[in-house]
Amino acid sequence: MSCRAGFIWHTKQHFNRYIEECGIACELVTPHMLAAPFYHGLFNCMIIPTGFANPAYSNLLPALRAASHRIEQFVENGGNLLIFGAAVDKPDSYDWLPFPVTYRHEYQQRRIECISGSDTETIIDDYDPSCIECDGSFPSHEGVCAGIADSADVIIKKQIGKGKIIITSIHEFPSRNFLKKFCSEGKESRF
């Protein structure tokens, strides 16, 4: 089964190459494409990297807000969405999602504990869990906690229709095994 990921950013990054090295076809989706109602792509998953809400790195947040309804439909129809930290002290950085999430920016190394049996358990397999870079936490949300650091939620997930959304403040690439599974479990959906 072939998988297709939509990588939402302005230009190609090392992350794109990493995704492709995992055997997943990866298409760049720019903010202009994301916000354009006539743009359509077929993906199993969509990935939004760290820094999407920080104006020093990106102007992606307005496009995410403009496309919020389409993003929700993509997930409801079976696509998976992986979102990293906003990387700015802006609690409403995730207000474009179909459920409330509050973000607190605080960059530091943390000891991460993934919830046993969770489908996110392998996200940090390629790293030492005692010292993983994180850019914040999620003090309030309507998701399910899938990973903690010092009693702060750093990985959350939420099932929406046939798909799921995973949000993490881990400031590292997800493990190869996690990424392959996450993308292959997503149903190819139109965005």
Residues sharing a CB contact under 8 Å with residue 145, sequence separation 6 or more, in sequence order: 115, 153, 155, 156
pLDDT, one tens digit per residue, over 74-84 is 999 999 999 99
pLDDT computed for residue 13 by the predictor: 93
pLDDT computed for residue 143 by the predictor: 95
Domain positions in the chain? 4-190
Q: Which residue has the tokens 């090392």?
A: 14
pLDDT computed for residue 1 by the predictor: 56
Q: In the chain, which residues have pLDDT < 50?
A: none
Domain 4-190: CATH superfamily is Class I glutamine amidotransferase (GATase) domain (3.40.50.880)
pTM, two decimals, is 0.95
Give, as one character, the DSSP assignment of residue 74.
H
Cα(184)–Cα(176) distance, integer angstroms: 12
Q: Which of 98, 96, 29 is nearest to 61 (CA)?
A: 96
- Please state whether beta strands 45-48 and 80-83 pair in parallel, antiparallel, or not at all (unpaired): parallel
